[in-house]
Amino acid sequence: MSSATRPAPSDAASSPSAGPLWRDRRFRRFWAGQSISQFGDRISELALPLIAVGTLHASAGQVASLTAVIWTPNLLAVFLGAWVDQQRRKRRLMVLADLVRAAVLATLPIASLTGKVAMGQLYAVAALTGAAGVLFNNAYPPFFTRLVPPYRYLDANSRLSASRSASYVAGPAIGGALVQALSAPVAVLADALSFLASAFLVGRIPIEEPPRTAGETAELSMLGRARQGLVFIARHPVLRACLGCCATVNFFTFITSGLLVLFAGRTLGLSAGTIGLALGAGATGGFLGAVLAPRLSRRLGVGRGIALGTVLFPAPIALATIASGPLLARTGALAAAEFLSGAGLMFFDINLNSLQAAVIPDGLRSRVSGAFSTVNYGIRPLGALLGGLLATVIGVRAALLIAAAGGSLSLLWVLASPILGIRDLPQPAAAHPAPEA
């Protein structure tokens, strides 16, 4: 797998986290902080568009632009990851990212009280919170591997993903109640407070962050270090296949952005409430998939768990396109598609994230993560644009079928790589020479 030699046990393996995760106070703090933050995110995901539409009477184009602005900072992740890798204190960067997001979001309820909320402010909030999120996500991989011992990667990712899925089950309802009771701008304050809670909990986690070794590419420019991350992925057979697989499945599944709801409402004739219940099944499937993923991996193997997810995540979209008959059957088809897709996403994500944590060397984690994110997230808006074009030219049903079939083709990356043969997570690559920039 990796060309790294078998390293000596790290401090993560010899620390308190070597026991069961539920007994590890450090992981419990981190898990609690991330869970609170995830529920806060669901509130903002609902409130920001409602501020744009309800308070500022924004056009459809402005709302779409707001979504694009949130994603745009990910295009710079390759450079930010290169910078983060040169910083020793990853935990401090994560706390800083949480504090920035809390402060930026808090400007909305303040502006609301003075009656000065504007679209320009919404765009600025979206850009700054998106950039802070990229900073947090690039500092996260090396922090995670110092916090969690390798043999607990799957269990830890399972718990974190279960919290995320649970937030999608209950978060929108909580967000809707807050928006109705307090107004959308004031409801955003709950997300700001969730980031403060995350910053407090993460900041209190004792963790050893080793200094960079002498000569660790310090003489390289940021561009050179960013290139190292891209080169390492391109030359690593597992990471290359992981990125190809992720980019393919995300490109095609983002074709469905907005189209599935449109299809459910106009073609299947479902009401907004019925669509909401059916889509909620996806979050339930995601929660169940997150809980079952480690057990499935131990039975099938990590590689086969990834392979199963590459198909089970996109393919069920086709179920919705063939729905017909009475209302219950149409609703059931959409709910079944969302449930299976949600479970497949968790099988895919948890196994893939754990595998990446095992094969990326310590000194390259942030720059590889940044390079990975730039490609993986950067391709998503292209899929959404193609979805709109396909729906216009060949119809929504055909576009959804293309998304299901095309997303399933991501399996080919797994079949043509060493991933399928990986049963257990390999020994983490703690040391590895950086590729020539």
Q: What's the whole-model pTM score?
A: 0.81
CA distance 54 to 64: 15
* Residue 12: predicted pLDDT: 42
pLDDT at 3: 37
| Model pLDDT, residue 311 | 95
What is the per-residue pLDDT for 13?
40
pLDDT of residue 347: 94
Report the pLDDT value the prediction gives residue 88, as an integer from 0 to 100: 80
| Mean pLDDT, the chain cut into blocks of 10 residues (437 residues total) | 35 48 85 90 82 76 74 86 85 94 92 86 91 91 88 89 86 78 84 93 86 58 84 93 94 83 84 76 86 91 94 93 87 90 93 91 86 88 83 89 94 94 77 49
Burial status of residue 120 (CB atoms within 10 A of its CB: 0-12, 13-18, 19 or more): exposed
Q: What is the pLDDT of residue 166?
A: 87
